[in-house]
Amino acid sequence: MLIVQKFGGSSVADAERVMNVAGIVTRAYREGNEVVVVVSAQGDTTDDLIAKAKEINPRGSKREMDMLMAAGEQISIALLAMAIETLGCPVISLLGWQAGFQTNSTYSAARIKTVNSERIRAELDRKKIVIVAGFQGLNKYDDVTTLGRGGSDTSAVAIAASMRADLCQIYTDVEGVYTADPRKIPAAQKLDEITYDEMLELATLGAQVLNNRSVEMAKKYGIELEVLSSMKNVPGTKVKEVTKMEKMLIKSVAKDTNIARVTIVGLPDEPGIAFKVFARVAQAHVNVDIILQSVGRDGTKDITFTVDADAGERTVAALKELCENVGAKSVTYDTDVAKVSVVGAGMETHEGVAARMFEALSDKTINIHNISTSEIKISILINKEDADRAVAAVHAVFFEN
Amino acid sequence: MLIVQKFGGSSVADAERVMNVAGIVTRAYREGNEVVVVVSAQGDTTDDLIAKAKEINPRGSKREMDMLMAAGEQISIALLAMAIETLGCPVISLLGWQAGFQTNSTYSAARIKTVNSERIRAELDRKKIVIVAGFQGLNKYDDVTTLGRGGSDTSAVAIAASMRADLCQIYTDVEGVYTADPRKIPAAQKLDEITYDEMLELATLGAQVLNNRSVEMAKKYGIELEVLSSMKNVPGTKVKEVTKMEKMLIKSVAKDTNIARVTIVGLPDEPGIAFKVFARVAQAHVNVDIILQSVGRDGTKDITFTVDADAGERTVAALKELCENVGAKSVTYDTDVAKVSVVGAGMETHEGVAARMFEALSDKTINIHNISTSEIKISILINKEDADRAVAAVHAVFFEN
């Protein structure tokens, strides 16, 4: 079996952890598998490098920041390879470009164009464990790029897709995907399986288990993912197309408190006005989430939507000029809101999920500002202070009968 | 003018020093020169990386050690590039392989085969300052190699040779080459010029200003070198083929206390015996320096020679078996010796240099064990405890009339 294993920065944070990862890798190898391992930079290395750069130049060019940051994975792959050497298995480490990662030229947020996995294949044929630097690639100018946030997950799935791997294991500091954040909800249960779509909805909800791009890519190429713990040798959560658990109405309750609510008051009620608003927002590279449009006074209307908290100011700035041009009254934003969502492919064919959710919140007298639904997700916007109570109430009604 | 500048690890040790180097580089650029800069890893980075590796695997493979260590220069080139950005000059950093360094495959001590400087040339044509990672290259397997001790000097000279640079400046923490170690001999004088051959003799004598390979390469390709301080803006010492100072009898007095003396006692006095001894030593990859052969008793002879201190035990071990085979009595070594040398192209045409040196030592009642001379060097072996007094006495007679 060809397995791709990915370990994040906290999994290789120090010598002891690196040895632990070496143990996991060599176990899979000794069971007769071909093993390709993708590693992030050690957690403190990344912080150190950023600190060094900021001290010299708080606004260093992205090209040079990528050159700098890519040194982080170079260190961790070499260390992991040396750790595996001590366990007596043949091993070789490869940088992103050596492993065939070609990306576009958007420094600090590059997208993978292709993975030419010839070299990895050749090293596997020599019976070697192959350690690959995640998060990095090379653009058409032969310059080092990095993939941005969560990039190592994407690196792992890209290799799995390129090599048609049988399984892509994402090792993290949690044991899998839960019905809610287990640190907050003691009754949270680990899921055995979840579908790609459910995982995608969870990822956008701030449940930072898996990077979205990596799940999208896994879905596209049909790569089975497994999220599991690097510290505890127990099965994790499989992410795949169809799960045996479809009958389960919803899979998970999640909250996202890192959002801002932007409102445009008094827009003229005319055709195409919403298009103008969101075209301007898109121009500012802001992703919009929940949208609510309501009728205002005197033939005007209000549009409210949510964005990432750190995009709030930017969004308002982008809209200020537009508002003057179209004669809207004002643009405001606040961050005192939270989004709570339930996700589950099962709700497509079941009625009453929304009703049960709203009832649970009503019982706790939690006020709902906005509602947004998709086929497999219901999200509500509430006051930030109510977020934890809301998650507990919703989790209880669906999972704790 | 095309100038190659090289800065060692201590010159870029922290943010302040990096900014200082950026100042030197941009000054040369603003004077209208094309500037290529070779940088070593920050001093503490190298130490940190080695410590990280040793904690995991004290005997990690050289390939993986090279992968690890090469991250060091990657960090320093990116930081220096960002520092230069703050000073408003166009700049780009290049890794060893991006700068076209192709080496053989001797990991940790690779030799440069060629430097394909096309990319550097292209970036210079774009009016950029080009920062190159020293010490590293790529072998024919597309794997990262490092050049070993003093490698960044060699990187700099190799670029200068490949691009026919007008000058190669080696910035260090001293102001140039002195008539003796200025920390020990207050009267030591900085030399304006010195020949390649003199510099080579000094380098082998433990005066660690310039790496030997880099001087050899500079001589071969006729690259003018300048050794100068990164902390003080004053002219340094030029290293070139012929100097205006040839009339100066000797250029420098140096000592080397990091040596061991190995003696084989009672070798049979027969043809080819010395060959056998030194062939065996060469097999053990030990460089031999001063050799003294003396007639022993009963038709035997003794051979004494010096090696680097850390090669002493290895040398004795290598010779033990040989001694039994040829019937020699014993092999001994001690490290209680020092080598003091005077170097100068002028002594070729002058007599009496040796006599004046020996007289100076005799006046201080310093006992000479061995003597070795070349056309431009006289070395003597003395007790280690006499070394500093010997250097002072010899320096006084030649430079302090």
Examine residue B392 and state whether it is found in any structural domain, yes or no.
no
Residues of B in CB contact (< 8 Å) with A are 15, 18-19, 49, 52-53, 55-57, 60-61, 63-65, 67-68, 70-72, 74-75, 77-79, 81-83, 85-86, 92-93, 95, 98, 119, 142-144
C-alpha B77/C-alpha B96 separation (Å) is: 11
Q: What is the dihedral of CA B112, B118, B124, B130, to 10 degrees?
A: -40
- Closest-approach residue (CA) in chain A for B92: A64
The pLDDT assigned to B247 comes to 63
Residue B79 lies in a domain: yes
Please say whether the beta carbons of B2 and B31 come within 8 A: no
Looking at the predicted structure, is the pLDDT value of residue A296 above 70?
no
Residue with more model confidence, B282 or B133: B133
Asked if the Cβ–Cβ distance from B67 to A78 is below 8 Å, we say yes
Confidence of residue A310 (pLDDT cuts 50, 70, 90): confident
Look at residue A157 and tell me if it is in a domain: yes
B228-265: per-residue pLDDT in tens?
999 999 999 999 987 666 567 788 999 989 999 999 98
Q: Spell out which residues of chain B touch residue A56, defining contact as CB-CB under 8 Å.
A: 15, 18-19, 79, 82-83, 86
From the CA of A323, how many Å to the nearest CA of chain B? 37
* A15 contacts in chain B (CB < 8 Å): 52, 55-56
pLDDT tens sequence across A136-150: 999 999 999 999 777
pLDDT above 90 (res A207): no
B121 domain-assigned: yes
**Half-sphere exposure in the Cβ direction for B5 (13 Å, CA):** 27
- Higher-pLDDT residue of A327, B86: B86
Query: Which residue in B74, B105, B141, B145 has the most chain A C-beta atoms within 10 A of its own C-beta, making it the best mutation to test that interface?
Result: B74
A353 pLDDT tier (thresholds 50, 70, 90): confident
Average pLDDT, rounded, for chain A: 90
Residues of B in contact with A17 (CB under 8 A): none
Q: pLDDT at position B353, please?
A: 85
| Cα gap A54→B86, rounded to integer Å | 12
How confident is the model at residue B376, as a pLDDT?
A: 86
pLDDT digits (tens, 9 = 90+) for A167-191: 999 998 888 999 888 888 889 999 9
**Is residue B318 a part of any domain in this protein?**
no
pLDDT at B235: 93
Residue A83 to residue B49, Cβ atoms within 8 A: no
pLDDT band at A5 (very low <50, low <70, confident <90, very high): very high
- Beta-strand (E) ranges in B134-234? 136-138, 144-146, 167-172, 193-195, 225-229
Mean pLDDT of B266-294: 84
Task: Report whether B261 contacts B287 (CB < 8 A).
Answer: no
pLDDT of residue A16: 96
Q: Which amino acid is it at A381?
A: L
CB-defined contacts A:B, below 8 A:
110
Which of A57, A63, A74 faces B74 most closely, judged by CB atoms? A74
Strand partners, B2: B34
Whether B352 maps to a domain, the answer reads no
Is B98–A142 a contact, with Cβ atoms under 8 angstroms apart? yes
- Chain A residue with the nearest C-alpha to that of B49: A75
Global pTM exceeds 0.90: no
pLDDT over threshold 80, residue A200:
yes
User: How distant, in Å, are the alpha carbons of B148, B231, B295, B358, B364 from that of B369?
Assistant: 33, 40, 15, 12, 15
pLDDT digits (tens, 9 = 90+) for A158-169: 999 999 999 999
Give residue-wise pLDDT tens across range B39-55: 999 988 999 999 999 99
Contacts of B138 in chain A (CB under 8 A): none
- Measured between CA atoms, the residue of chain B closest to residue A18 is B56
CB contact under 8 A, A85 and B61: yes
Give the Cα separation of B46 and B230 in Å (integer): 20
B28 to each of A229, B35, B37, B91, B208, how far by Cα in Å? 54, 7, 11, 13, 26
Q: How far is B228 from chain A (nearest CA, A)?
A: 24
Chain A residues with beta carbon closer than 8 angstroms to that of B143: 98
Q: How many domains does chain B have?
A: 1
Kindly report the CATH number assigned to the domain that includes residue A148. 3.40.1160.10
Average pLDDT over residues B365-374: 86
In a domain, A232, yes or no: no
Convert the pLDDT of each residue in A21-79 to its tens digit: 999 999 999 999 999 999 999 988 989 999 999 999 999 999 999 999 999 999 999 99
Which of B64, B72, B93 has its CB closest to that of A67?
A: B93
- Residues of B within 8 A of A145 (CB-CB) are none
Q: Which two tokens stand for residue B38?
A: 């070779």
What is the pLDDT, as a whole number, of residue B245?
61
Is there a domain that residue B28 lies in? Answer: yes
Checking ipTM against 0.85, whether it exceeds it is no
Interchain contact, A71 vs B67, CB within 8 Å: no
| pLDDT number for residue A389 | 95
A247 confidence band (pLDDT: 50, 70, 90): low
Pick from B103, B115, B117: nearest CA to B145: B103
Of residues B64, B75, B81, nearest to A71 (C-beta): B75
- A86-96 per-position pLDDT tens digit: 999 999 999 99
Q: Which domain holds residue A160?
A: 2-173
pLDDT beyond 80 at A205: no
- DSSP conformational letter for B291: E
Confidence of residue B206 (pLDDT cuts 50, 70, 90): low
User: Residue B259 pairs with which residues in a beta bridge?
Assistant: B308
Residues whose CB is less than 8 angstroms from the CB of residue B337 and which lie 6 or more positions away in sequence, other chains included: B259, B260, B261, B306, B369, B381, B382, B383, B384
B15/A79 Cβ within 8 A? no
Alpha-carbon span A257 to A209, nearest angstrom: 16
Verify whether the Cβ–Cβ distance A68 to B75 is below 8 Å.
Answer: yes
Name the one residue in this structure whose structure tokens are 């310059």. A143
* Measured CA distances, B67 to A126, A363, B49 (Å): 20, 60, 11
Query: Above 80 in pLDDT, residue A244?
Result: no
